[in-house]
Amino acid sequence: MASVTSLSDSVQQRLASALSATLPEAAGADPLLRRSDRADFQANGILALAKKAKANPRELAARVVSQVATGDVIADVEVSGPGFLNVTVADRAITGNLAARYADDTGRLGVPFAADPGTTVIDYAQPNVAKEMHVGHLRSAVIGDSVVQLLEFTGESVVRRHHIGDWGTQFGMLIQYLDEHPHELDHKDAQVTGEEAMSNLDRLYKAARRLFDSDEEFKTRARRRVVDLQAGDEHTLAMWQRFVDESKIYFFSVFEKLDMEIRDADIVGESGYNDMLAETCRLLEEKGVAVRSEGALCVFFDDVKGPDGKPVPLIVQKSDGGYGYAATDLSAIRDRVFNLKADTLLYVVDARQSLHFKMVFETARRAGWLNEDVKALQLAFGTVLGKDGKPFKTREGETVRLVDLLDEAIERASAVVREKAQDLSEEEIAERGAQVGIGAVKYADLSTSANRDYKFDLDQMVSLNGDTSVYLQYAYARIRSILRKAGEAHPVAHPELALTDAERALGLHADAFAETVAEAAAEYAPHKLTAYLYQLASLYTSFYDKCPVLKAESPEQVENRLFLCDVTARTLHRGMALLGIRTPEKL
Q: CA 205 to CA 66: how far, in whole Å? A: 75
By CB under 6 A, is residue 126 in contact with ligand ARG?
Answer: yes
> Which of 435, 567, 575, 465 is CA-nearest to residue 511?
567
Binding mask 181-220 for ligand ARG (x = CB under 6 A): ----------------------------------------
- Nearest distance from residue 106's CB to ligand ARG, in Å? 34
If the CB atoms of residues 329 and 566 are measured against ligand ARG, the closer one turns out to be: 329
- Nearest distance from residue 353's CB to ligand ARG, in Å? 7
By CB under 6 A, is residue 123 in contact with ligand ARG?
Answer: yes
| First CA to last CA distance, the chain | 36
Give 215's contacts (C-beta < 8 A, 6+ positions apart): none
Q: CA 529 to CA 472: how far, in whole Å? A: 12
Cβ contact 299:289 at 8 Å: yes
Helix (H, G, I), strand (E, B) or coil at 201: helix
Q: How many CA atoms lie within 13 A of 91 on its CB side?
A: 14
If the CB atoms of residues 145 and 329 are measured against ligand ARG, the closer one turns out to be: 329
Which of 95, 128, 247, 571 touches ligand ARG (CB under 6 A)? Answer: 128
> Applying CB under 6 A, which part among 120-128, 200-208, 417-425, 552-560 lies near ligand ARG?
120-128
By CB under 6 A, is residue 160 in contact with ligand ARG?
Answer: no
Which of 92, 139, 163, 582 touches ligand ARG (CB under 6 A)? Answer: 163
Backbone angles phi, psi at 162, to 5 degrees: -100, 100
> Which of 488, 425, 437, 489 is CA-nearest to residue 463?
437
- Nearest distance from residue 269's CB to ligand ARG, in Å? 8
What does each C-alpha distance from 250 to 131, 133, 194, 238 come to in angstroms? 10, 9, 4, 19
Give 72's contacts (C-beta < 8 A, 6+ positions apart): 90, 92, 93
- Nearest distance from residue 311's CB to ligand ARG, in Å? 22
> Applying CB under 6 A, which part among 43-51, 55-63, 122-130, 460-468 lies near ligand ARG?
122-130
If the CB atoms of residues 163 and 570 are measured against ligand ARG, the closer one turns out to be: 163
Cβ contact 195:253 at 8 Å: yes
Cβ contact 169:150 at 8 Å: no
Binding mask 283-322 for ligand ARG (x = CB under 6 A): ----------------------------------------
By CB under 6 A, is residue 349 in contact with ligand ARG?
Answer: yes
Helix (H, G, I), strand (E, B) or coil at 228: helix
- Nearest distance from residue 123's CB to ligand ARG, in Å? 5
**Total of chain residues touching ligand ARG, rule CB under 6 A:** 8
List Cβ<8 Å contacts ≥24 apart for 352-356.
352/383, 353/378, 353/380, 354/378, 354/380, 355/304, 356/314, 356/325, 356/326, 356/329
> Applying CB under 6 A, which part among 6-14, 123-131, 253-261, 556-564 lies near ligand ARG?
123-131
- Nearest distance from residue 277's CB to ligand ARG, in Å? 14
- Nearest distance from residue 10's CB to ligand ARG, in Å? 43
Which of 45, 83, 96, 165 touches ligand ARG (CB under 6 A)? Answer: 165
Sheet with 119-123, strands from edge to edge, namely 157-161, 119-123, 344-350, 375-381
If the CB atoms of residues 163 and 225 are measured against ligand ARG, the closer one turns out to be: 163
> Which residues of the shown chain bind ligand ARG in the complex (CB under 6 A)?
123, 126, 128, 163, 165, 329, 347, 349
